[in-house]
Structure 1
């Protein structure tokens, strides 16, 4: 290790990737609460860290009524990507899941009330009431686990 090599010995270990099945990827996604949603804003990619819940196979994100994501999803929906992971910063082992699908506003009052009970938005923005939600229906689901070789 040179003086400019800031990697610890654990990060230099051999690793390889293992592809996840759709079911494995969604199960891992359902086991964490934070991720990133990627959508188009003014013809450019936008990425927002958000918390989520998995409702069946659908990803639900609460938002405020004037959010860019909700604006893109109205009225007919939009294609988005959603990514979440759990990676160890020392060993660089863990997993990552990416879902691409159609994002639509949640309009059913009973669903909105249920999501308000189950999902507390992060972060809470001053002056914004998080009383809206979007639902992402996965079409493409990919995931990989990074494991030690051997």
Structure 2
């Protein structure tokens, strides 16, 4: 059995920049929720769009949330995971408008309008890898 290897901050950030889909965990009055989201990495943190009436839009802003991306290679019995913790806030500036430009950052995969911008202000990033100390990553394709 291989030991778990802690990823460096730099490795975690590289993996975050290499992918476009992750999961956000937040708490509602009915309990915890985890939802998949498209995201983009900016200097201020991770940004994503959602609908104003979603549970994410209703309960995440003003709260602490967790965000996770990972990759699993079942055949080789190896994988990695990056987890981000921080505060969620509504984006109030026009800087996020670049998300709307064709050819720029990824658009939400889900249909419908997603005009509400949320930002996860990074407080902590951690990552782990299992399956061999010399396993090359990222395995996710660069966008």
Q: Do residues 20 (structure 1) and 7 (structure 2) align?
A: yes
Q: 1:114 to 1:91 in 2, by over 3 A?
A: same
1:133 to 108, 113, 117: 117
- Equivalent residue number for residue 139 of structure 2: none
Q: Do residues 29 (structure 1) and 13 (structure 2) align?
A: no
TM-score, with length taken from structure 1: 0.78
1:54 to 41, 48, 52: 41
Aligned mates of 1:146, 1:41 — CA distance in 2: 32
Aligned mates of 2:133, 2:123 — CA distance in 1: 31
- The number of aligned residues is 131
Q: Do residues 99 (structure 1) and 101 (structure 2) align?
A: no
Q: Which has the higher helix share?
A: 1
Runs ≥4 residues deviating over 3 A: none
Work out which of the two has the higher radius of gyration on C-alpha atoms and give 1 or 2: 1
State the Cα distance separating 1:43 from its structure 2 match.
4.6
State the Cα distance separating 1:30 from its structure 2 match.
1.3
- Structure 1 regions of 5+ residues with no counterpart? 1-13
TM-score, with length taken from structure 2: 0.82
Q: 1:18 to 1:119 in 2, by over 3 A?
A: same
Note the aligned Cα RMSD (angstroms): 1.8
Contact 1:112–1:132 (CA under 8 A) maintained in structure 2: no
State the Cα distance separating 1:49 from its structure 2 match.
0.9
